[in-house]
Amino acid sequence: MYHGSHPGWIEVVCGVMFSGKSEELIRRVRRAIIARRQVQVFKSHLDARYAGLYSISSHDGREIEAAPVDTSAEIMRLVRPETQLVAIDEAQFLDTGIVSVATELASRGVRVVVAGTDTDFRGEPFGAMGHLMAIAETVDKLQAICVVCGDLACRNQRLIDGQPAPYNSPTIMVGGQEAYEARCRHCHQVPARDESQTALL
Ligand code: ADP
Ligand code: ZN
């Protein structure tokens, strides 16, 4: 855990799906609540459709709801002057403005905890996560368990009708007909660009 003598820094919690990013974000938020810090939690609205929003309750009965947002600018508008910790989940879905929003909040003295999937289904950098990792004080990269071989998993396997999704499948799929598995580098499969599908479009 980072402890600067001046308040205000950025912590990134990244990794594949199922690696425990949300659990870790919630743990940090819960401990800040115990420390009587003023906390606000945001989550990309894009994810809310699939996963539902969550609320974080503490033992002293306070409850904090993750506010759904569509853009990084919305976070900036919603942060209250007294807020000491801003937590942002599913940050890979947000626009690149999240980099300046996190920077501005940190310079104002806010502790910013950003959680997100750092690689897309292809195994390539996802949204602004790489940039956020570069400018953060701390980066914790979590791993899941590969469902094929049991090693540590660092890749998101996208499956469409049970088959590995081709490289040219969109980065963000709307509708949620796809499924994901955590897999290691060696069990991760991304078939080459599917030219037949491109021709149909
Ligand atoms: P993330 O936010 O990174 O997607 P969550 O915090 O929502 O992760 O969920 C982590 C939990 O998912 C783990 O504690 C575990 O119970 C469960 N889980 C399901 N599948 C896996 C897997 N393949 N590897 C590790 N944990 C898994
Ligand atoms: Zn594996």
What does the pLDDT look like over 100-119, one tens digit per residue?
A: 999 999 999 999 999 999 99
Q: Is residue 187 a part of any domain in this protein?
A: no
- The pLDDT of 13-32, averaged and rounded, is 94
- What pLDDT, in 10s, does the model give residues 28-69? 999 999 999 999 999 988 765 555 567 776 666 666 788 999
DSSP 119: B
Q: Which residue out of 13, 17, 19, 119 has the highest number of ligand 1 atoms within 8 Å of its CB and is therefore the one to mutate?
A: 19
Instruction: Determine which residue's CA is closest to atom 20 belonging to ligand 1.
Output: 18
How many domains does one find in the chain? Answer: 1
Active site residue 90: yes
Q: Is residue 174 a part of any domain in this protein?
A: no
DSSP 183: E
Q: Is residue 26 a part of any domain in this protein?
A: yes
E-only strand ranges, 74-148? 85-89, 111-117, 138-142, 144-145
Q: Is residue 197 a part of any domain in this protein?
A: no
Pocket of ligand 1 (CB under 6 A): 15, 17-23, 144-145, 147, 182
Q: Is residue 52 a part of any domain in this protein?
A: yes
| Ligand 1 atom index nearest CA of 89 | 2
pLDDT at 91 over 60: yes
- The pLDDT of 79-101, averaged and rounded, is 97
**How crowded is residue 35: how many other Cβ atoms within 10 Å of its Cβ?**
10
Q: How far is the CA of 93 from the centre of ligand 1 (A)?
A: 19
Q: What is the pLDDT of residue 197?
A: 58
Determine the structural domain holding residue 13 and report its residue range.
9-143
Q: Is residue 198 a part of any domain in this protein?
A: no
Location of structure tokens 């049991």: 150
**Cβ distance 122 to 167 under 8 Å?**
yes
Whichever domain contains 23, its CATH number is 3.40.50.300
Q: Is residue 33 a part of any domain in this protein?
A: yes
| Ligand 1 atom index nearest CA of 115 | 2
E-only strand ranges, 21-134? 39-44, 55-57, 63-69, 85-89, 111-117
**Distance of CA 51 to CAs 81, 86, 130, Å?**
30, 21, 24
- What pLDDT, in 10s, does the model give residues 168-192? 999 998 767 889 999 999 999 999 9
Torsion over CA: 129, 13, 169, 189 (sign): positive
